[in-house]
Amino acid sequence: MPADLTAELALSPAFHDCDPMNVVWHGNYFRYLELARCKLLQRFDYDYPQMLESGYLWPVVDARIKYIRPLRFGQPLVVAVQLVEWENRLKFDYRIRDAETGQKLTAAHTIQVAVEAASGEMLYVCPPVLWQKLGVAPQ
């Protein structure tokens, strides 16, 4: 297993991400997860442009989120992501926490599957290019 399949992203919710009560609108949480996931994938030179260049699409097929405490306008946050599965699918676990107190605010996961770009066919095993980029063997 590679040394580090994790990344962290620091951010503070912008005014336009919030509802009239200065709480982040629930749909924007997924954007924060996406930003963290891309940061992790960029470390391995296998973000979405490189995925497409390698002949594969990676749609999200499942996303689950547990809203523990609200995220608020201007609140310093850390979005932590970890890749926990990579043989048959990509599964990422996320934690959003308050950057100052460390309090856990949100827990989530997403699942993506490989789809061959040319045929549109879903694969039931991740392509070897993924394992090569990550420096891992099939689980």
Q: How far apart are CA 111 and CA 59, in angstroms?
A: 8
List pLDDT tens digits, range 11-44.
999 999 999 999 999 999 999 999 999 999 999 9
**Domain-by-domain residue ranges, the chain?**
6-134
pLDDT score at 1: 45
Overall pTM surpassing 0.75 (yes/no)? yes
Q: Place 136 in a pLDDT band, splitting at 50, 70 and 90.
A: confident
pLDDT for residue 114 is more than 80: yes
For 28, counting Cβ atoms within 10 Å of its Cβ (0-12 exposed, 13-18 middle, 19+ buried), the class is middle
Residue carrying the six token digits 């490189």: 50
Q: How far apart are CA 4 and CA 2, in angstroms?
A: 6
For 6-134, the fitting CATH number among 1.10.287.130, 3.40.50.300, 3.40.50.720, 3.10.129.10 is 3.10.129.10
pLDDT score at 100: 98
pLDDT score at 139: 59
